[in-house]
A and B are shown apart, each in its own frame.
Chain A
Amino acid sequence: QKEVEQNSGPLSVPEGAIASLNCTYSDRGSQSFFWYRQYSGKSPELIMFIYSNGDKEDGRFTAQLNKASQYVSLLIRDSQPSDSATYLCAVNRVFGNEKLTFGTGTRLTIIP
């Protein structure tokens, strides 16, 4: 079992709709959770991070965390073509950023 699992996609969503990206992790001791966006040929850029169970909203993005189910998701509202990218989920055992474990990413395509 992979430590961090994501559906590789591609996930196609019409422009203006909600894109839902999911991630599960195996280590129950994980404490911090991150979503990064990576455009082709570029390095990842941080979208959101979440530490506590529940929802965290930032603009069009909402991260959802359920530690009991070992599940973290990212919702993108009002999807735009510029949101088309690979989204990487990452987890860590500590509150912070050392030695992040990444999933393989979900490729998202927003259809105009």
Chain B
Amino acid sequence: GAVVSQHPSWVICKSGTSVKIECRSLDFQATTMFWYRQFPKQSLMLMATSNEGSKATYEQGVEKDKFLINHASLTLSTLTVTSAHPEDSSFYICSASVTNSPLHFGNGTRLTVT
């Protein structure tokens, strides 16, 4: 089945620094990847849709200048949290799919900003 790999699994950073999270589709090409965020005891909230070779589409309320998304190839999308603050601490999950197939999620990245 479709395998999505996410790295790192967890990261701790200081307030004001930037953090990059990678999402890779290992055994298929993903023209579209999705980035979700999940706060404790809450549901997954879609942040943005990442399209290979073009600009990401951000959901309402998500700051595109703070959450930089790059989808440079069919197997790699990156999310960079710039100038991170404690309120950005969350569980970030990427997902990818083959057209008309159910989403498969990466293993998630737990970000803690101190």
Contacts and interface: CB of A to CB of B under 8 A. Distances in A.
B104 interface: yes
B42 A42 contact: no
Contact of B97 (A43, A88, A97, A104): A97
Of A45, A95, A96, the most chain B CB neighbours within 10 A belong to A96
Interface of B: 6, 32, 34, 41-46, 49, 91, 93, 95, 97, 99-108, 110
Contact of A104 (B42, B46, B105, B108): B42
A99 interface: yes
Given A41-B91, A46-B103, 5 more contacts: A44-B44, A46-B104, A99-B34, A99-B49, A100-B46
Contacts of A96: 97, 99-102
Contact of B43 (A34, A45, A97, A104): A104
Contacts of B43: 88, 102-105
A109 to B, nearest CB: 15
Decide if the interface of chain A is mainly helix, strand, loop or mixed.
loop
Interface of A: 34, 36, 41-46, 49, 88, 95-100, 102-105
A88 B107 contact: no
A95 B102 CA distance: 9
A42 B107 contact: yes
